[in-house]
Amino acid sequence: MFNALGYSIDGLVAGWKNEAAFRQVLLLALVGIPIALILPMPMWGHAVLVGSHLGCVIVELLNSAIEAAVDHTSLEKHHLAKRAKDLGSAAQLIGLTNLTIMWALVLLAR
């Protein structure tokens, strides 16, 4: 269990050091989550916004992992490598779109 925690911390540190997109999504969460918790709204609104922010952070970590694995396998251009990277990017686009929609819905519900 302690080894797994160490690997997870290593992953967060690697993401912060090597991935600009991870830093951006994490900073968005570090700003957005406290704002979501401070604003007066029902508990479900807090949960939806915190969960959506954390979901984006998770998707970005997975997207970065896919990109690193594909680049490790080969730097040669290949249609399947492009597909893997594009799918990871599309997942993050959907996550960020979801985050935007959740903010809009929660704020409109207030």
Q: Is 53 annotated as a binding residue?
A: no
87 noted as active-site residue: no
Neighbours of 109 (CB within 10 A): 11
- The span from the CA of 85 to the CA of 72, in Å, is 13
pTM reported for the whole predicted model? 0.91
Q: Could you tell me which of 101, 97, 20, 17 has the C-alpha nearest to residue 56?
A: 97
Q: Where are the domains of the chain?
A: 2-109
| Average confidence score pLDDT of the chain | 95
- Is 52 annotated among the ligand-binding residues? no
Q: Does residue 39 contact residue 54 with C-beta atoms inside 8 Å?
A: no
Please, which pLDDT band fits residue 75 given cuts at 50, 70 and 90?
confident
* Whole-number Å distance between alpha carbons of 24 and 60: 10
pLDDT (0 to 100) of residue 13:
96
Q: Which fold has domain 2-109?
A: Helix Hairpins (1.10.287)
Active-site choice (22, 33, 57, 60) = 60
| Whole-number percent of the chain with pLDDT over 90 | 90
pLDDT of residue 1: 85
Distance CA 98, CA 93 (A): 8
